[in-house]
Chains A and B, each alone.
Chain A
Amino acid sequence: AQRVTQPEKLLSVFKGAPVELKCNYSYSGSPELFWYVQYSRQRLQLLLRHISRESIKGFTADLNKGETSFHLKKPFAQEEDSAMYYCALLAYSGAGSYQLTFGKGTKLSVIP
């Protein structure tokens, strides 16, 4: 069975400092990984996915199959980045369906 691990429940950084939110996964197949974000009083929304290899709001994430990691990074944190971040893995669950498995989430707090 697939698993997603986010080792930090809470991460506090100062504004302008670099940010790295860690995510490790276990999955026997070829993984598709995502980062979702939930800002205060807002809905859970997709931030980025590894297959698109794009930078969203200054965030990037690289899939490292050797280390089974998909860490989220941003060089300079902004106050508006404060939110709950979830790493998720999409796995084939049979009968043509795909299932998203989420980590427990990391709360990022950017200190002004």
Chain B
Amino acid sequence: GAGVSQSPSNKVTEKGKDVELRCDPISGHTALYWYRQSLGQGLEFLIYFQGNSAPDKSGLPSDRFSAERTGGSVSTLTIQRTQQEDSAVYLCASSRGPALGYTFGSGTRLTVV
């Protein structure tokens, strides 16, 4: 597509439930990144996919967080047993390759009540 698409744009969930966030990168972009931005804060790196290489999961805050990227395209970020501190905007970006310019999606605003 023309841009990075994320869905849903907003998600309200109850504490303890699982959620799935979706990212559809720009066609042909081999690199895909997930970041999290809490209210008034900077961007926190979560996970990075590059082609068929093993993902860099070094930013995932706990084992409740996981992500996959199917067929080198769409990615899903899953948060299990959500907690209130998981409330944030989850941003996805893609780039043509590593160390190249990023294009961000509009994000998913997650609220855990």
Query: Do they bind each other?
Result: no
Which A residues contact B (CB, under 8 angstroms)? none
